[in-house]
Amino acid sequence: MARSLTILGASGSIGRSTADVVLAHRDEFRVEAVVGGRNVEALAEIARRLGARFAALADETAGPALKEALAGTGIESGAGRSAVLEAAERPSDIVLAAISGTAGLEPTHAALRPGRRIALANKESLVCAGAAFMADAHRLGVEIMPVDSEHNALEHALAAGQNRDVEKAVITASGGPFRIWPRERIAEAGAAEASAHPVWSMGSKINIDSATLMNKGLELIEAHHLFGLEAERLDVLVHPEAIVHGLVQWTDGAVTAGLALPDMKVPIANSLRGRERLLMDLPRLDLAAIGRLTFERADEARFPCLALAKAALRAGGAVPTILNAANEIAVEAYMAGRVGFYTISEIVEAVCSRFSGSGKAPATVAEALAVDGEARVIARRLVHAKQM
């Protein structure tokens, strides 16, 4: 029997890959709702392809255009916050949560319903409100399946033993476009160069986070909440081939790793089916053809955002929420050409320092959004003071 599916962030890179997986397994899934940001034509096209029952855009001004684009299809539609929340709350077995940024926190939390599975690709749900989000998920009996390739790999690797026997859980980073660049050259790099990810095809903001290695720091915070592992038992390795996505070193010296070609359809398919497997028509991993897998330690001097995220994880409380908010504002300014590459980490550090040692972890999503808003105000002031 087909399971019903809602896709939050359907027109983004994760959403498009999810659509490909669903279309390849039409007997397995029935799409209840799809949600996008502002792109009317992209969301309407996905809704039609998937035969969704409801489509919603976050942009409240786009309602009439979306309705017109879906005329004659029988697909209901809406726009604005209420429509997005309606999509998240509609009856479905699985919700793929892939709205990027803090904008995805409220609808992802609204999707928590007893007996549901959340295929989680929205970092902010755990970085901004991890304790509150996971507490509500446990209370409601919601199954959280990570979509990120790194956390999906750790999910499987950790199944080989008990958490108490984990010495270190490690996620990998390709190293981004600046992996071998000297600091002086990185300092001069513009957003176009930082966005040129060597392995993955992602959104612009995530590409910049990958260039700064902030993305890996945020993923460590996610891993802490997903798997209940302390900061001291989490780490990052740079792995340019992007074949090993996560590995676990056990107290007896053994290592269990999750390997796959760098294609997001693999972890997406796994997260939709839980711990079962879908037959996927994808290239198979040929280690003999690859020949060599290399690993390096992350250089936190050239990539200070990773060190800042690790410090935020150790500090706990509201600091990860503040870190994420400051980073979003700083990256936005960098992408607009208003500040330089290393100003991103300077702004994040300054905002976090102001809050350091104060503020408990947000107990609710509303509290997390309030802290996020306050941090953004301070970050914007710093951007204005530092802009080129």
CB 6 within 8 A of CB 90: yes
pTM of the model: 0.94
Mean pLDDT value across residues 337-353: 96
What is the model's pLDDT at position 300? 97
Amino acid at 7: I
The alpha-helical segments, DSSP class H, found in the chain are 13-23, 40-50, 63-69, 81-89, 105-110, 124-127, 130-140, 149-158, 183-187, 191-194, 204-212, 214-227, 265-273, 287-290, 304-315, 319-335, 341-355, 365-386
Instruction: Enter the CATH code of domain 3-146.
Output: 3.40.50.720
Does the pLDDT value for residue 180 go beyond 60? yes
What stretch of H or E contains 37? none
Mean pLDDT value across residues 195-219: 86
Mean pLDDT value across residues 20-42: 95
Identify any residues that bridge with 246 across adjacent strands, giving them in sequence order. Answer: 171, 258
Predicted confidence band of residue 275 (pLDDT cuts 50, 70, 90): confident
**How many Cα atoms within 13 Å fall on the side-chain side of residue 62?**
25
Mean pLDDT value across residues 36-49: 96
Does the pLDDT value for residue 204 go beyond 90? no
Distance CA 54, CA 77 (A): 5
Count CB atoms within 10 A of the CB of residue 384.
11
Domain ranges of the chain: 3-146
Predicted confidence band of residue 165 (pLDDT cuts 50, 70, 90): very high
